[in-house]
Chains A and B, each alone.
Chain A
Amino acid sequence: MNNLDDKIKSALEDNINITESDKNQVWKKIETGLYSNKNSNFKRIHFKRRSFINLVATAAVIAILFVGSKTKVGHAIVTQIKDLFVPEKQITQEIEGEKEKTNMNLHQSLKSNYIIYVDEERYEFIDGEEVDKIIMKDKPDNIPEVSMDIQQLIDRSPEDVIKDLELQIQGKYEIVHGPETIREPINGFTIRALSGQKWDSLVIKIYVLSNEQQGSFIITQHYFLEAAEGHGVRFDEMVKEFKIVK
């Protein structure tokens, strides 16, 4: 055997021995992890749990709205948020090298206990059942999606969530940066990915932070490469204004 490439290949193949028993042991552990009675048919349980979360979230919104309008305690929560956070504020941001003054309006999500200031001149806040969305107003048809989603997962830690998101993104996007730990604009993790290098290549930027209990908030921005200095900056300015309300 003279060729170095053949030698390296054989060195690896000959020096690593695995048996049928090794392979069976690994499969048994996988089976136990995925299909044991406790977790039988993961997908079904996963969807069921989401439906349950939807139900709880919907019920919570109805309850808070009802309580909020009818009782002193509920009224106090709403008033407290109004007292703590001004309904409108002006910020200065740098868009494509130019300083710009932008008015931001307060939005509060009672079901998820957070507030955010939104640039309502350009975006619309949609309070969803499971995911809240901030979407671009009057978006032309010939450009990709421009939006920012905010979702709370009540039982998944930021560390677990970012790990799963990394895997999901790697299967879908050509270029992936991160995940990395960050302090700004939120204290948590971020991961960013691109579908290519063209002007309209899709960009996804995700922030994951603790909900200050056992869960996480996921903030997902969707825009396109050419909009990174525009919508990308505007979304990040809004993320800076994201606050958890207890």
Chain B
Amino acid sequence: MRGENPVDKDIIRNIKFGHKESFKELYDMHIDKALRTAIAITKNKEIAKDATQEAFIRVYLNISSYDIDQPFEPWLYRILINECMRILKKDSKLKLSYEPLSENQLVANEDQEDLTYIYEVLNSLGDIHRIPLILKYLQSFSEKEIAKALELNINTVKSRLFQGRQKLKNALETKQ
């Protein structure tokens, strides 16, 4: 499990001792996937940036109470998802549809058409199916880690992943 990564543990231990450089190191290790996840959830890059910024600040401010023996990533993503939801709720008028794709992503090629279509369908799913799928496919989280990050029973996660995947599968089959 990634949360048990000894590198994370050493870095977090240093942050607890007040090392600013270690916090930057932790940020560099996680920002790429964290920001991608926030964009996938909020469907808006600027909102995602605000949520990610706020989530890392909260991680830093609460690091003294974080138990180093618990996996780190589910904790980070729980905070991040909460921030995404909080900002979306606060700025509900800003809850836009996902940002349009760039030109080079719209090259007419069968595989890419499928990927674009899957992304559109994924974005149209409800949060209960969309967010577990994002954590599984973008983060490669295990079902147990998704359950921990979303505070759900593991069977609920399994069922939501199955239903979400099924919806994508049906949509793709219908298209073809």
Contact = CB atoms under 8 A, between A and B. Distances in A.
A23 B30 CA distance: 11
B172 A4 contact: yes
A42 to B, nearest CB: 7
Contacts of A12: 36, 40, 119, 122, 134, 137-138
A102 interface: no
A168 B62 contact: yes
Contacts of A10: 115
A13 B75 contact: no
Contact of B36 (A18, A26, A168): A18
A171 B122 contact: no
B151 A176 contact: yes
Interface string A15-35: 111100011011101100111
Interface residues of A, number: 36
A18 B119 contact: no
A35 B58 CA distance: 14
A16 B39 contact: yes
A9 B138 contact: yes
Nearest to A46: B61
Given A9-B138, A16-B36, A168-B65, A33 B53 contact: yes
B87 to A, nearest CB: 13
A15 B116 contact: yes
A22 B137 contact: no
B118 to A, nearest CB: 4
Contacts of B40: 12, 16
Nearest to B169: A4
A201 B137 CA distance: 34
Contact of B18 (A15, A22, A41, A171): A41
B149 to A, nearest CB: 9
Interface size class, chain B: 35 or more
Interface in B96-120: 98, 101-102, 105, 111-112, 114-116, 118-119
A171 B66 CA distance: 5
A15 B165 contact: no
Interface in B15-51: 18, 20, 24, 27, 31-32, 35-36, 39-40, 45, 49
A22 B32 CA distance: 10
B79 A167 contact: yes
B70 interface: yes
Interface string B44-81: 01000100110011101110111100100001001100
B62 A171 contact: yes
A34 B60 contact: yes
A56 to B, nearest CB: 23
Contact of B52 (A4, A26, A41, A168): A26
A43 B15 CA distance: 11
Given A9-B138, A43-B18, A167-B58, A23 B36 contact: no
B133 interface: yes
B115 A15 contact: yes
B168 interface: yes
Contacts of A14: 105, 112, 115, 119
A172 interface: yes
Contacts of B70: 171-172
Interface of B: 18, 20, 24, 27, 31-32, 35-36, 39-40, 45, 49, 52-53, 56-58, 60-62, 64-67, 70, 75, 78-79, 82, 98, 101-102, 105, 111-112, 114-116, 118-119, 122, 133-134, 137-138, 151, 165, 168-169, 172
Given A22-B45, A29-B49, 4 more contacts: A8-B137, A14-B112, A34-B60, A171-B67
Interface of A: 1, 4-5, 7-18, 22-23, 25-27, 29-30, 33-35, 41-43, 164, 166-168, 170-172, 176
